[in-house]
Amino acid sequence: MVLAAWLIVAILKRYRAHTDGSPPVEKSGNMVRCAVCGVHTPESEAVISGGQHYCCEAHFLQRKKE
């Protein structure tokens, strides 16, 4: 009985050592291409204006000045 309990504990410890405890990666949704640099960014994080997508506000402002 003690041997079975020790074996279960050893297996659980080994299993926990292989999992890093980090949360699962969440899906980012659709990826869109920045109109300035071409970097792909999750649509939920992109700056969108006039049907164009930008990876950051700086690229949006850069295109706006042109």
What is the pLDDT, as a whole number, of residue 42? Answer: 93
Question: Tell me: the pLDDT tens digits for 7-63?
Answer: 888 888 877 666 666 666 666 589 999 999 999 999 999 999 999 999 999 999 998
Query: How do the domains of the chain map onto residue ranges?
Result: 28-66
At 4 the pLDDT is 86
pTM: 0.57
Q: How far, in Å, CA of 25 to CA of 42, rounded?
A: 14
Residue 47: predicted pLDDT: 96
Closest CA to 56 of 44, 66, 47: 47
pLDDT at 24: 65
CATH fold, domain 28-66, is Wheat Germ Agglutinin (Isolectin 2); domain 1 (3.30.60)
C-alpha distances out from residue 14 to 1, 8, 23, 29, Å: 20, 10, 19, 34
Distances in Å between the Cα of 43 and the Cα atoms of 37, 48, 63 are 15, 9, 18
- pLDDT score at 62: 94
